[in-house]
Amino acid sequence: MAKSIYLPLVLFILFFCIQVFIKPSETALFVFVLAITILSLGLQRYKGEIKLFFLGLVLGFIIEVGLGLISRQQYWDDASLLGVPMWLPLIWGIGFVAITRVGIRLRGIQ
């Protein structure tokens, strides 16, 4: 279980470093986040994580687009998915999975 929680966290740190220092295109970030998702869920997956991923993806999309329609506090350059980047809902989805894995690990649940 320990290996499974570190992979998404390391990939998230790498994602943010790439975004801050290299500033790639939205499409390149989408491909990278898709690779993070496939690696995180493909190498080791636990019961219910696919449902959790899609719940995070849908809720993240609704929250980002919905709050953007109400009050735009954050602006994304070249956002092509109804005002948000394509990769952002994927980050929400895999974030749900990563946070759950960390919580399970901290609580000592098998």
Q: What is the pLDDT of residue 4?
A: 58
Q: What is the pLDDT of residue 3?
A: 56
Measure Cα distances from 99 to 25, 38, 42, 49, 50 in Å: 27, 17, 17, 11, 14
pLDDT digits (tens, 9 = 90+) for 92-101: 998 898 888 8
Model pTM?
Answer: 0.75
pLDDT at 58 over 90: yes
Percent of the chain with pLDDT over 90: 15
- Distance, in Å, from the CA atom of 81 to the CA atom of 64, rounded to the nearest integer, reads 10
Q: What is the pLDDT of residue 8?
A: 67
Residues 35 and 15: beta-carbon distance below 8 Å: no
Between 76 and 51, residue with greater pLDDT: 51
pLDDT at 45 over 60: yes
pLDDT digits (tens, 9 = 90+) for 8-26: 677 778 777 877 787 778 8
Residue 76, exposed/middle/buried by CB under 10 A (0-12, 13-18, 19+)?
A: middle
